[in-house]
Amino acid sequence: MNDRDDIAPHSSDDDALDLAIQALPRSQNPARDLWPALQAQLPPRRARRAPWSWAAAAVVAALVLSIWIRPDLGPSSVTAPPLAQLDSPTAEHSLLNVYETQKASQMATLNFSNPSVSRQLAIWDGAVQQVRGALSYYPEEPRLLRQLDRLYRQQLSYLETLAMVDPQVAAYY
């Protein structure tokens, strides 16, 4: 017999109370947004230096090089955030906001079902996730931010090229 059974014999009132207790919400949001005040109170914290993260960064660098498949696909009309932003604490999110919007817009105009295209995009997405994983340990690391920037530029240039070529030709990309 545990704590939960250690209750006097149940009447119908007990059952009704138990049901009502079970129906109580376990989560209630405060009436106002507490985040702005909380943010102002949070003490600054330096990024944690994981001993293996330099190795992770090296793996990411190798991965980036390995998927540099079309050097001729340089950025053309791709709009990048100002380089100065790359040094700001929110640079990663600025990059994501700008590039993911552009990427979604380009993807919406494409109508392809070629598995090799999907596979290629998945490789880029995987590389982006790898860089973001490394950035979670080194949020201010400029080289990782530049790698993220470069990956998105390549991906967008690739999509841009796909949009311009004949779908049959695009099958070879």
Q: Which residues bind to another protein, rule: CB under 8 A?
A: 2-3, 6-8, 13-14, 16-17, 20-21, 23-32, 34-35, 37-39, 41-43, 45-48, 89-90, 93, 132-133, 135-139
Please identify, using beta-carbon distances, which residue of 95 and 162 lies nearer to another protein: 95
Please identify, using beta-carbon distances, which residue of 8 and 65 lies nearer to another protein: 8
**Which parts of 42-90 fold into alpha helices (H)?**
53-66
Q: What is the closest distance, in whole angstroms, from the C-beta atom of residue 35 to another protein in the complex?
A: 6
Q: What is the closest distance, in whole angstroms, from the C-beta atom of residue 127 to another protein in the complex?
A: 15
Q: What is the closest distance, in whole angstroms, from the C-beta atom of residue 16 to another protein in the complex?
A: 8
Using CA atoms of 56, 59, 61, 64 in order, give the dihedral in degrees to the nearest 10: -120
* Pair of tokens at residue 114: 């070629």
Please identify, using beta-carbon distances, which residue of 49 and 119 lies nearer to another protein: 49
Q: Provide long-range contacts, Cβ within 8 A and 24+ apart, for 168-172.
A: 170/112, 170/114, 170/117, 171/114, 171/116
CA atoms of 35 and 18, how far apart (whole Å): 35
Q: What is the closest distance, in whole angstroms, from the C-beta atom of residue 144 to another protein in the complex?
A: 12
Using CA atoms of 92, 93, 97, 103 in order, give the dihedral in degrees to the nearest 10: 40
Please identify, using beta-carbon distances, which residue of 29 and 109 lies nearer to another protein: 29
